[in-house]
Amino acid sequence: MQQHDSRAVGLAWLGLLVASLFWAGNALVARAFHDAIPPFSLAFWRWTLALAILLPFVARPMWEHRAALRHAGWRLVLVAALGISTYSVLLYFAARTTVAINLTLLNTCLPLATFIGAGLLLNEWPPRRAWLGMLVATFGLLVLIAQGRLAQLAALSFNPGDLIMLLAVVDWALYTLLLRRWAPYFQLPPLVLLGALVSCGVPILLPFYLMELASGQRFELSVDNLAAIGYTGVAASLLAYLLWNQGIRVLGVAKAVLTNYLMPVFTALLAYFLLGEGLQAYHWAGGALIFSGLILATRPSFR
């Protein structure tokens, strides 16, 4: 039994790392296509594609679990509105006025927001070791932001997109915490839960997408645009959300959210491989500190 539990924990950590990698890619896509695809359009078609892929697999199981879904009721709708609809739109609006690395750097505020929220909403205050690990990871994050130079921190400036991204972080923290708080209402297979969340989230997005169309904002049906929607719909939606929800279920909120510190590292790596941007010494130093903080915060305590 212990070996089985260890395997489940290991897979949960691996899944969270992959989810963070996919979301780092999502930030790059959001920034790269902010002029080509309007925000409500990208959010709506991202989740519509995800729902179209999901439905053949979850329609029958959702019907079989209809009593449990009815029991979840408004809680399911609220969680879907936060995690599926609102977060996506805030991210894509933020991407219009800030760069991809800022999106992922600001997303690393999530552990602090969630640590405090977990204590207030769930009465699950993280141990002191987790706070210490978070401080180490935050120091690594500052090394990345400052590019190894203290003067860079003094010159740091924020714009409207950064503030919108902070709202998105609060929104995601609430999604994560409520998913945990209302876990007894969401005792469903992972695919069924995701299918139910997306089924609630897409109709919420629809009127806003229609208003965007009415205002004359449209996107071209080009290969690049469709590929961007495909990536966000499959990797950043279906796969990442499944892995995230499972990580929350197995590891709890406090541990799972710490993997968000890796998003700037993954963004830097993706920029290196996809955009040809070189990796500097501060990337390695900041990444090493972030990994060290994660290990410190999540390792089992010694007796």
Q: Is 96 helix (H, G, I), strand (E, B) or coil?
A: coil
Return the closest-CA partner of residue 112 out of 137, 77, 90: 137
Is residue 183 classed exposed, middle or buried when 0-12, 13-18 and 19+ CB atoms within 10 A define those classes? exposed
Q: What is the pLDDT of residues 262-277, one digit of tens each?
A: 777 787 777 667 666 5
Q: How much of the chain is helix, strand and coil, in % rounded to 5? A: 85, 0, 15
How many CB atoms sit inside 10 A of residue 218's CB? 11
Closest CA to 159 of 112, 69, 96: 96
How many other CB atoms are found less than 10 A from the CB of residue 182? 14
Distance, in Å, from the CA atom of 234 to the CA atom of 230, rounded to the nearest integer, reads 6
| Tokens found for residue 146 | 């400052």
Tens of pLDDT, residues 14-46: 999 999 899 888 888 888 888 899 999 999 999
CB atoms inside a 10 Å sphere around CB 10: 11
Q: For residues 198 and 108, which has the higher predicted lDDT (pLDDT)?
A: 198
Residue spans of the domains in the chain: they are: 2-133+157-251
Site of tokens 């977990």: 118
| DSSP letters spanning 142-156 | HHHHHTT-HHHHHT-
> At residue 2, does pLDDT exceed 60?
no
Query: Does the pLDDT at position 150 exceed 90?
Result: no
| Dist. CA 205–CA 161, nearest whole Å | 20
Task: Flag whether pLDDT at 253 surpasses 80.
Answer: no
